[in-house]
Amino acid sequence: MKMYDAIAGQPDQVTIFSEAEQTGLRLAIKGRLIALVLMGGWLIATRSGNLELTLQYSGAVAFFAILGVLHSRIIGTPRDRYWIKYLFIALDIGILSVLIATRPIYENVDLPQAVIFRTPIFPFYFVILGIAAFSFSPGLVLWAGICGVVGWLGAFGYAIRDMTRTFDWGDIGSNPDTETFKTYFFSPDFIGAWSRIQESVIFLIVAILIALVMWRARVTVHRQIAAEQDRRTISDIFGQYVPPAVAEVLISERGALAPVEREATVLFADLADFTKLTEKIGPKGIVEVLNTYFDAVSQIITRHNGVITQFQGDAVLATFNVPVEDSDHAGCALRAGRDICDLVAQRDFAGIQIRTRVGICTGMVIAGSVGGGGRQNYTVHGDTVNLAARLEGMNKELGTDILVAATTADRIAHHGLKQIGQVDVRGLSAPIDLFTFARTPDAQP
């Protein structure tokens, strides 16, 4: 069962690390299988003349492979438990240790079982330790180290249990001559117990070092995940008060948005007959209508890569190409405006049918953080913004739902638009060309 962050709706750190461990274990099992095939293939190839040994090695490889497949099938299922990965590591080391303690190097050579410890067989334990490291779990790595030491020394103890005579490094002495060294070291009864202890200590030290690396890596990743979740939480909460795109930039810029002058397309949408509607349904009713309407409009504008910079009473001011750049800002604004009008015509909001008017204009704007007294607001300024607002109001005079300035229409080659003509606009010295949507099936800016 996954745990999720209550605010951000994202998996918590425990879940993230659990999933990482599961992924690592699956990868380790695949690597283990490859290692088994390579090592088993080498052992079988070097003993191809001995059918019995070939069958034994093949059976051992197959058995280890089956264990790996079984473990892989359990990982992440309802049957999975935290201790299962420890069990399979113990099984790998236990089975390997039993084979070392009981299987002679050659069936037809009468030598003490302790002779096998002179062969390069100890590195097999390091393979299991490496597999444990894939889990990204310091505890599992330490467990593999402890099991390896117990298994190696246990196998050694079992192998020498019945030897009536044994030689060790102490018998050779600290300054032996050549003949003394040969006599003891090459004797079948030489067990080298201190060498086994040294190997075990080194193995355990390596396990501890890997576990420390895993622990440090987990701490670092924990911090990174926590920082990312904090960032996401701040962005989600902050995004309720400013546009999400602006919130992301503000967080990245550590709270400041430097003023920028850039060409952008501005969309201004306002409800028709808002005053009459307020008188008709009252304050509570109008708030419900506005919340439902603003939610729907926000989704449309966001879908078309726009940013709502302000809610002004019943009006919405949105910009395209600031603060997030978009080369198709004119087309995106037109599609958003058309979708808003289509949506309003097709449904009601909190049980009330409304009308909206939209003005769209493209030109240079100045955008950035503005404010004082410790409070900032992201906003846009310029003649382009003023003209978009005036075009929205002129819809009432011209009987349209959307009015588009020529500066916007020119950027999409007037596709899907029809020209109304040159119209005088308050505040401008000369009339300008205005456009609206041509309501035809191919009207697709």
DSSP-assigned states of every residue in 103-170: --S-TTS---GGGGGGSTTTHHHHHHHHHHHTTT-HHHHHHHHHHHHHHHHHHHHHHTTT-S--B-HH
Q: Is 189 found in the same domain as 123?
A: yes
Grade residue 443 by pLDDT with cuts at 50, 70 and 90: very low
Residue 181 shares a structural domain with residue 327: no
End position of a domain, from candidates 207, 235, 263: 235
Calpha distance 102→156 (Å, rounded): 10
Structural domain contains residue 444: no
With CA atoms as reference, report the closest residue to 324 among 295, 302, 339, 342: 302
Residue 421 near residue 409, CB atoms below 8 Å: no
Q: Judge whether residue 275 has pLDDT over 90.
A: no
Task: Examine the domain organization and report whether 125 and 224 are in the same domain.
Answer: yes
* 390 confidence band (pLDDT: 50, 70, 90): very high
In this predicted structure, the answer to whether residue 422 has a pLDDT above a threshold of 80 is yes
Residue 434 has pLDDT above 50, yes or no: yes
Q: Which amino acid appears at position 61 of this protein?
A: V
Confidence at 9, pLDDT banded by 50, 70, 90: very low
- 117 and 151 belong to one structural domain: yes
* 91 and 213 part of one domain: yes
pTM above 0.85, yes or no: no
Tell me the average pLDDT across 224-245.
61
Report the chain's mean pLDDT, rounded to a whole number: 83
DSSP alpha helix (H) spans, 269-346:
274-303, 329-346
The total domain count for the chain is 2
Q: Is residue 250 domain-resident?
A: no
Establish if 242 belongs to a structural domain: no
Residue 204 is which amino acid? Answer: L
299 and 365 in a common domain: yes
CA dist 275 to 279, 288, 349, Å?
A: 6, 15, 16
User: Considering 235, 266, 293, which residue would you say is the last residue of a domain?
Assistant: 235
| 205 in any annotated domain | yes
Closest CA to 314 of 344, 359, 275, 360: 275
Q: Give the residue with greater pLDDT, 51 vs 279.
A: 279
Distance of CA 425 to the CA centre of its chain: 51
Res 415: pLDDT: 84
* Inside any domain, residue 286: yes
228 and 294 fall within a common domain: no
- Which of 23-27, 188-192, 322-326 is predicted least confidently? 23-27
Residue 443 lies in a domain: no
pLDDT, tens digit (0-9, with 9 covering 90-100), for 350-387: 899 999 999 999 999 998 777 665 566 778 899 999 99
Looking at residue 234, its pLDDT comes to: 56
Q: Are residues 267 and 368 in the same domain?
A: yes
263 and 166, same structural domain?
Answer: no
pLDDT for 235-253, tens place per residue?
A: 565 555 455 666 666 666 6
What are the Cα distances from residue 392, in Å, to 191, 278, 315, 361, 376? 95, 20, 10, 10, 27
pLDDT value at residue 8: 42
207: containing domain: 13-235
End-of-domain residue from the set 187, 207, 235: 235
**Pair 327, 211 in one domain:** no
CB contact set of 374 (below 8 Å; sequence gap of 6+): none
Interval 161-182: pLDDT, tens? 988 889 998 888 888 889 989 9
Instruction: Return the pLDDT at 364.
Output: 95
Q: Is residue 240 part of a domain?
A: no
**CATH number, domain with residue 281:** 3.30.70.1230
Residues 134 and 220 in one domain: yes
Q: Tell me the average pLDDT across 4-22.
A: 59
208-221 confidence digits (pLDDT tens): 999 999 888 878 87
pLDDT at 444 over 60: no
- The pLDDT confidence band at residue 342, using thresholds 50, 70 and 90, is very high
Give the long-range contacts of residues 413-419, CB within 8 A, separation 24 or more. Answer: 415/444, 415/445, 416/334, 416/440, 416/442, 416/443, 416/444, 416/445, 417/334, 417/443, 417/445
Instruction: Please report whether residue 245 resides in a domain.
Output: no
* Mean pLDDT on 305-309: 86
Do both 279 and 186 map to the same domain?
no
